[in-house]
Structure 1
């Protein structure tokens, strides 16, 4: 029986391998992923792969020139076409886009021929200053390529309250981020924008304050010292903004990704609401406090409410389910 099972497995594996596009069958993971080593610098890596430092930063969503050993970077690659390859296959295998491959190589059609050599340049992220704007799928790749060198035990949930949905027009992500950054620095006296991550009504995600830097804000040093702060654009107190489906999906998705990345299990000890922390003492009080001693943040209507019961009933199970779904796709 054991020999039969092994034989069946080998046959299935061979069939999968033979039906793969050539570019994927040759390697099961992209070869244009560079793992940063001790002593590496952006100029050295950029020179090695004939790319500018700015292109390297935008391609990988780098917020500074500092690199950390173990960090992963997408870099350009010269690829020799095999019989049966398509631009779609190549773009998928090497984190690129069909349009970019055609433009870089001066292709007027998608027709390829064997032994043709193509320069494949990875896709670029959308950045303005320190702010990186991504889809949730782009955030997943960015997060797992990023090396975080501090302990993360707590994911904070906040809502902006102001600005709210009425201030979002579908294309002013960066204007809103810069506005928050200026308010936090000039009015609140903080060194930078307080939150690490921001979600928007259209489901987009922004990373602003680097994950390697602890967040700031009124939640206090205990929550911040081992935390990542997520600010959800909107006023989610009952009677105000009704959260969009796109933003709901993104909030669940990124919390699941962060739990996977940092080995967390969704609970009141790993995913926290600002509402559970005393304004003056900065201690965690959960549901045991008078309303004037806490903020309603992330909102009385946030996934069923801002109580611990609401989180356990309506928020954590969704994150746990999404974690299982993501992990299945990563196997």
Structure 2
């Protein structure tokens, strides 16, 4: 059979299966890298999905795309020897139930050569806010195209809301309350922090990563804040972690360590007092970094006098950074 005949037959088979050519071949990562001129509508049409579903697959806070950004997309996968639904769900950021539903499967048995439509898991979103597990955040972060230079990140605690305000499912409600406080009372353009960790170990993305945090330092001398925070990411850990108040859950503790490690890997940082900084080390009025020399300065206890041993630079070096370094090695070993 000549090449032209093979092409026509292949095209006929794809059309008969109602499959876009973009979906017709096995893709080891089911990701699409955005190119110049792409729009969500064009990509959705190519991969036989919708703009809204693409936003949920990828935790997109807007429809603006950046060249080089990576998007999870549906694919058509042809089963090979050794495949199982569980293996495919893990490889393609899906789930067994989702694969079975998308293909009308009533059994877990697969056959070599069988074609399966594999749809990525949708993230939980409410407006700009994206609620994720640690594993989902890892996948989300490494697919992001960050256009500004990130050289450090800030650790805060919320003080309010604290654990007594969290009921196990009101992540979004608390995020909107914090946003209202920041926008309506503080006069900032959006919620201040990029990330918020919760007692159940989940994390919510708030302020877009490509927008610097706002208002954390230099509240009186506001002119210093943009320069300080231009290359920063802000993390709020929900809770009052001053000694005698909220006792951090193991789930949140693991998430705080994991997020710090993931950010270090993503932005090429090594844990230190320059790359992972505590709010307590800054005069919140002048924007001066005072580290442990806080006497005579307006400083907060953030991220708490009970945060991983305390809020001094010594506490960070002895009780937090080693955990982050170990987690970095653990994550890199799986990549």
State the TM-score, normalized to the length of structure 1: 0.89
Residues 214-244 of structure 1 deviation map (CA, whole Å, 9 limit, x = unaligned)? 0112324243111000000000111111111
- Choose which of 175, 178, 200 in structure 2 pairs with 1:177: 175
- Choose which of 92, 109, 112 in structure 1 pairs with 2:110: 112
Which residue does the alignment assign to 2:130? 132
- Aligned: 1:279 with 2:284: yes
- Choose which of 88, 91, 112 in structure 1 pairs with 2:89: 91
Unaligned runs of 5+ in 1: 1-25
- Aligned: 1:235 with 2:240: yes
- Choose which of 313, 322, 325 in structure 1 pairs with 2:327: 322
* Alpha-carbon shift at residue 117 of structure 1 (Å): 1.8
Q: Give the secondary-structure state (helix, strand or coil) at the position aligned to 1:293.
A: coil
Aligned length: 304
Q: Give the secondary-structure state (helix, strand or coil) at the position aligned to 1:62.
A: coil
Kept in 2: contact 1:154–1:223 (CA 8 A): no
CA distance in 2, matches of 1:273, 1:223: 14
Kept in 1: contact 2:283–2:289 (CA 8 A): yes
Q: Give the secondary-structure state (helix, strand or coil) at the position aligned to 1:209.
A: coil
- Choose which of 132, 142, 145 in structure 2 pairs with 1:144: 142
Kept in 2: contact 1:72–1:145 (CA 8 A): yes
- Choose which of 291, 295, 307 in structure 2 pairs with 1:302: 307
Matches within 5 A, 1:171-320: 171-220=169-218, 221=225, 222-290=227-295, 293-320=298-325
Which residue does the alignment assign to 1:18? none
CA distance in 2, matches of 1:82, 1:319: 39
Which residue does the alignment assign to 2:49? 51
Q: Give the secondary-structure state (helix, strand or coil) at the position aligned to 1:329.
A: coil
Matches within 5 A, 1:4-43: 30-43=28-41
* Alpha-carbon shift at residue 185 of structure 1 (Å): 0.9
CA distance in 2, matches of 1:30, 1:85: 13
Residues 49-71 of structure 1 deviation map (CA, whole Å, 9 limit, x = unaligned)? 01100000000011111111111
Q: How large is the RMSD of aligned CA atoms in angstroms?
A: 1.5
* Alpha-carbon shift at residue 96 of structure 1 (Å): 1.2
Kept in 1: contact 2:163–2:199 (CA 8 A): yes
CA distance in 1, matches of 2:246, 2:194: 23
CA distance in 1, matches of 2:278, 2:137: 22
Which residue does the alignment assign to 1:9? none
Q: Which moved more, 1:297-306 or 1:219-228?
A: 219-228
CA distance in 2, matches of 1:207, 1:218: 17
* Alpha-carbon shift at residue 163 of structure 1 (Å): 0.5
When residues 140 and 326 of structure 1 are mapped into structure 2, their CA distance, relative to the original with a 3 A threshold, is same
CA distance in 2, matches of 1:131, 1:250: 18
Unaligned runs of 5+ in 2: 1-24, 219-224
